[in-house]
Structure 1
Amino acid sequence: MTTTLESDIDDLWHRYDDGLTAADATADDRGTLDEFLDALEAGEVRAARKTGDGVDSWEANEWVKRGVLLNFGLRETERREYGGVGYYDVLPLRETEDLAARGARNTPDGTVLRRGAHLGDDTIMMSPSFVNIAASVGDGTLVDSCDTVGSCAQLGENVKLGANTLIGGVLEPVEDAPVIIEDGVSLGAGCRVTSGFRVGENSIVGENTLLTPRIPVYDLVEEEVVYGHLPENRRAFTRFVESSVSDHDLFEGGAYKPAVVATDVETETLEATRREDALRE
């Protein structure tokens, strides 16, 4: 099915590139778009794949990202309703009847799953929170209050997002890999992970830490500075290091820029990151 769907999306993309519009799209074209969204929701296709060992070995599934873009380019904006409130969008929200059978939960009053979002078994979405199109949330993962999971972001199994955490979306360009949060990661409240940054499995990130490719990660385990990813099995937190403009006349006393410091994960589980099985049973 996936090979045929990929071929259908590629064909539709070429026609769209040649001038196909939403008004010109046929019932078969819209059927292909719906089939694509169904496959995303079922977890049968994903916006990125891992090609080797290590957190730096992810790459985008370009045809999947093209399929997402087609769902915007070949659909008309319509009036819709959510919770009795009207809104305008090209896509409806995701149906959630399948969640109960898989042990997944989304609490009322503000948990929003956009069409094409995948929610794994035994996941929990607390309100208010939002998961965008083509994002994949792995089994046993907790999306806490005021969290946003952006388009195409890939969250692994047993991930814990602290409250008010932002996982950024990366939809274009299609060749860029999205944000990746691997299995077993815990992100503290208020974290921001953006622009295709990748967090290695079993890492713990302190509250209010910004992870983006432009901010250096000082990895004290391997004694190197890396950009764009946090290696696996690290504890990471924000520190400020001296800036190259610190000697400027406008910055008396020095200026500083943010950095991330990464150390070994402590052998003893931190109270704040311990999972309780009762939450997921």
Structure 2
Amino acid sequence: MTLQSDIEDLWNRYDDGLTAADATADDYDTLEAFLTALEAGEVRAAEKRDGSWEANAWVKQGILLNFGLRDIETHTYGGVDYHDVLPLRDTSDLPGRGSRNTPDGTVIRRGAYVGGDAIMMSPAFVNVGAYVGDGTLVDSCDTVGSCAQIGEDVKLGANTLIGGVLEPVEGAPVVVEDGVSLGAGCRVTSGFVVGENSVVGENTLLTPRIPVYDLVEEEVVYGHLPPERRAFVRYVESSVSDHELFEGGAYKPAVVATDIEETTLEATEREDALRSN
């Protein structure tokens, strides 16, 4: 038996009505081994296969089982009681790998992976199933949601939100690939993929519902920012722009992506590119 088959078997029993009262000591050993494997980076909620990110459904099942088969317990953090089914992650392994988490509010939940030479600035929160790669900075007031996959040498600017995608189990989580820099206040949600070595301007919202005007390939894409792009927010006319309740027109957000090597782009070129789509 493998950890995956053990989790899948336990999931099937849970789906058939298994409760915490019925679970055995071996079942809880399986759940503990699963969380330990997540924290060691041995299993991940999603992986890149043939160029595309795919969710590992059994890993998400394992996370959900830890919620469904555990009771709420009282834990203490920073002298304050909190109540949860999982304790916080033991971070004693971080110094040996050159990683650090600053005091007064840095919260890393059980089942989260933090790579080597990483920095967690307070107050930041990394949720269960999340993966934070080597050399990555999670800045103050950042949230890394459940199952989010953050690559190596990534910079998450202060007050950045990386959304969590735990259900459905088949749904790919948010992915921020290697070498990405997200400006302060960015939000990445709903399984959006930020391509490697991209730079995203502050306060940019990246979600599959908002179009990305890729000026490099001259196309509009949804759900991902291609690699090697510099991205920022623009506002384009909405379909209700001519409504009588909106004086001067109504607008909706869009994202414009240019070549990472391109330092400037004439405003007229930007407008032409937007209006042509």
Task: Tell me the TM-score normalized by structure 2.
Answer: 0.94
Structure-2 residue corresponding to 1:34? 32
Query: Equivalent residues in 2 for 1:197-276 (5 A)?
Result: 197-266=192-261
Q: Which runs of 5+ in 2 are unaligned?
A: 264-277
Structure-1 residue corresponding to 2:65? 70
Query: Equivalent residues in 2 for 1:29-178 (5 A)?
Result: 29-53=27-51, 57-178=52-173
Runs of 4+ in 1 over 2 A off after TM superposition: none
**14, 23, 46: which one pairs with 1:16?**
14
CA-to-aligned-CA distance 1:142-167 (integer Å, 9 cap, x gap): 00000000000000000000000000
Query: How far did residue 23 of structure 1 move?
Result: 1.7
C-alpha distance in structure 1 between counterparts of 2:131 and 2:58, whole Å: 16
CA-to-aligned-CA distance 1:90-122 (integer Å, 9 cap, x gap): 000000110011000000111100000000000
State the SS of the aligned residue for 2:2: helix
State the SS of the aligned residue for 1:128: coil
C-alpha distance in structure 2 between counterparts of 1:207 and 1:92, whole Å: 33
Higher relative contact order (CA 8 A, sep 6+): 1
Task: Indicate whether 1:188 and 2:183 are aligned.
Answer: yes
Q: Which runs of 5+ in 1 are unaligned?
A: 269-281
C-alpha distance in structure 1 between counterparts of 2:20 and 2:84, whole Å: 14
State the SS of the aligned residue for 2:13: helix
C-alpha distance in structure 2 between counterparts of 1:84 and 1:25, whole Å: 32
C-alpha distance in structure 1 between counterparts of 2:99 and 2:188, whole Å: 24
C-alpha distance in structure 2 between counterparts of 1:46 and 1:7, whole Å: 15
C-alpha distance in structure 1 between counterparts of 2:202 and 2:50, whole Å: 30
Question: In the alignment, residue 238 of structure 2 is paired with which amino acid?
Answer: S
Question: In the alignment, residue 215 of structure 1 is paired with which amino acid?
Answer: I
State the SS of the aligned residue for 2:93: coil
Identity %: 80
Query: How far did residue 252 of structure 1 move?
Result: 1.7
C-alpha distance in structure 1 between counterparts of 2:33 and 2:209, whole Å: 37
CA-to-aligned-CA distance 1:146-190 (integer Å, 9 cap, x gap): 000000000000000000000000000000000000000000000
Query: How far did residue 267 of structure 1 move?
Result: 6.3
C-alpha distance in structure 2 between counterparts of 1:6 and 1:188, whole Å: 37
Query: How far did residue 266 of structure 1 move?
Result: 2.6
C-alpha distance in structure 1 between counterparts of 2:50 and 2:9, whole Å: 29
Task: Tell me the TM-score normalized by structure 1.
Answer: 0.92
CA-to-aligned-CA distance 1:12-68 (integer Å, 9 cap, x gap): 000000100112111111110000000000000000010123xxx101000000000
C-alpha distance in structure 2 between counterparts of 1:143 and 1:163, whole Å: 8
C-alpha distance in structure 1 between counterparts of 2:25 and 2:34, whole Å: 14
Root-mean-square deviation (CA, aligned residues, Å) is 0.9
State the SS of the aligned residue for 2:152: coil
Structure-2 residue corresponding to 1:277? none
